[in-house]
């Protein structure tokens, strides 16, 4: 039998990921928690959908960190949006956000700026030209 780290043992995992039959990541509960497990679908603009099984009373920071780590993203470079369109903060729990089993949250790239009015070239020339004779 080949060792556990050999390429022969890695093929089924790759095949499972390609078919989408791999295991669903489970976020471990914090001590003292007794919430029920729910399944949350994370939908992205750029990557395939990922499913997470989490407890209702676990902070979503774990889910966010796990997702960002898997996709090589910085947690501050993306925003997580709940089914109601509100941003999800890392310190919230699925219970506080109102997530139910099977709900879907979206990941969007965070962009700052770009909200100003466009400046026409003639406006720039007026500012740069001297006033008066």
pLDDT in tens, 38-84: 999 999 988 899 999 999 999 999 999 999 999 999 999 999 999 99
Instruction: Give the model's pLDDT for residue 112.
Output: 75
Quick check: is 2 in a domain? no
Quick check: is 1 in a domain? no
Instruction: Give the model's pLDDT for residue 33.
Output: 47
Instruction: Give the model's pLDDT for residue 132.
Output: 58
Closest CA to 80 of 41, 23, 116: 41
What contacts 55, CB < 8 A, 6 or more positions away?
Answer: 27, 29, 33, 35, 36, 37, 38, 94
pLDDT band at 133 (very low <50, low <70, confident <90, very high): low
CB 54 within 8 A of CB 27: yes
Instruction: Give the model's pLDDT for residue 10.
Output: 39
Q: Which residue has the higher pLDDT, 8 or 103?
A: 103
CATH number at residue 81: 3.10.20.90
Quick check: is 67 in a domain? yes
pLDDT band at 115 (very low <50, low <70, confident <90, very high): low
Quick check: is 133 in a domain? no
Number of structural domains found in the chain: 1
Quick check: is 27 in a domain? yes
For the segment 13-42, what is each residue's pLDDT rounded down to a tens digit? 333 344 444 555 655 544 444 568 999 999
Instruction: Give the model's pLDDT for residue 107.
Output: 94
Instruction: Give the model's pLDDT for residue 117.
Output: 63
Closest CA to 33 of 10, 57, 51, 17: 57
Quick check: is 104 in a domain? yes
Q: Which domain holds residue 123?
A: 7-128
């Amino acid at each position: 039998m080949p060792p556990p780290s050999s390429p022969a043992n890695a093929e089924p995992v790759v095949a499972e990921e390609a078919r989408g039959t791999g295991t669903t990541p489970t976020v471990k509960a914090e001590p003292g928690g007794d919430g029920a497990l729910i399944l949350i679908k994370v939908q992205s603009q750029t990557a395939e959908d990922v499913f997470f099984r989490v407890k209702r009373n676990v902070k979503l920071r774990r889910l966010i960190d796990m997702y960002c780590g898997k996709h090589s993203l910085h947690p501050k470079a993306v925003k997580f949006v709940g089914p109601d369109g509100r941003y999800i903060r890392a310190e919230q729990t699925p219970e506080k956000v109102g997530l139910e089993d099977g709900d879907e949250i979206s990941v969007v790239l965070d962009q700052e700026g770009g909200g100003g009015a466009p400046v026409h070239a003639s406006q720039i020339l007026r500012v740069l030209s001297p006033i008066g004779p």
